Amino acid sequence: MPINPDAVGATGDPVSRSWNSKDALLYAVGIGAGTNELQFTTENTANVQQRVFPTFAVIIGGGGSPMHKVGSFNPALMVHGEQGIELFDEIPPNGEIESTGKIVGIWDKGSAAVLESESESFDKATGKRLLKTRSMLFCRGEGGWGGERGPAAKVQYPDAEPSHQVTYATRQDQALTYRLSGDRNPLHSDPSFAARGGFAKPILHGLCTYGFTGRALLHSLCDGDPARFRSMNARFSKPVIPGDTLTVSMWAEDGKALFRTTNQDGDVVIDQGVCTYG
């Protein structure tokens, strides 16, 4: 069936998700962390306690959203539009959460439909709220039913040089590593599937680019301390090709930073970024 705007407000059943040290380590290398970040990439280095990147929230969170109620769309024409995370405590290397999600918006962009969902997760061991995620999926070819277009507010970047700027290179096989954290969409690995979506080659997961960006924010704004990281929200504006170089620019002031990420050609690939930290 086509997209069903009446699904807005639908809530899913609670779902549980557990993870262990290996899952957190695999995610860390999937977003490019290496030998200079051993607290995130090893669990047995002398005098180093394993910690978890805040953006790991996108791997363990997001559960319970009733996506089966929004209708059908072509997965080859679907891309990630926007992603947000909010942390209420530091994510441990091992744990289990229970998440409940809901559909909070279905927007008609004319040439596409945008599906917006939220999910809240509680630590099953303590009962405390651990994290919240927000996601928007951009489904090309599914709009045009005359619905609302959705919010149009935009981040206004300062007319000044960034207070922080970090550049990371992605690997040619970056998507093949990142997909092992759970997103096996062939858009990121199968050339023929990518071609069906209009791409010359498989593209990098938007959430991998998001993870690279989150690494830069964590190290620049929080001195690498995940306990200080509060929230991150951003829009995906252009696909990244594995092997691209990413530069994250930040304008930080009083516990809040605006940010965006560009590729080696200066094209903005993550836009409208807002991060809060303590």
Domain-by-domain residue ranges, the chain?
5-277
Confidence of residue 242 (pLDDT cuts 50, 70, 90): very high
* pLDDT at residue 210, rounded to an integer: 98
Q: Which of 147-151, 194-198, 243-247 has the highest mean pLDDT?
A: 243-247
> Considering 206, 211, 214, 273, which one is annotated as catalytic?
206
Q: Which amino acid is at 251?
A: W
Which residue blocks in 31-153 are alpha helix, DSSP H? 38-41, 57-60
**The CATH number of domain 5-277 is 3.10.129.10:** yes
User: Of 203, 205, 214, 270, which residue is the catalytic one?
Assistant: 203
Helix, strand, or coil here: 215? helix
Between strands 15-19 and 245-253, the pairing is: unpaired
pTM for the full predicted model:
0.94
Q: Note the pLDDT tens digit of each residue in 97-142.
A: 999 999 999 999 999 999 999 999 999 999 999 999 999 999 999 9
Q: Please choose, from the candidates 273, 246, 223, the residue with its C-alpha nearest in 3D space to the C-alpha of residue 51.
A: 223
Active-site residue, 183 included: yes
Please indicate whether residue 188 is annotated as part of the active site.
yes
Q: b vs e for 130-148, b when ≥16 Cβ sit within 10 Å of the residue's Cβ?
A: bbbbbbbbbbbebbeeebe
Residue 1, pLDDT score: 52
Catalytic-role residue among 30, 71, 106, 188: 188
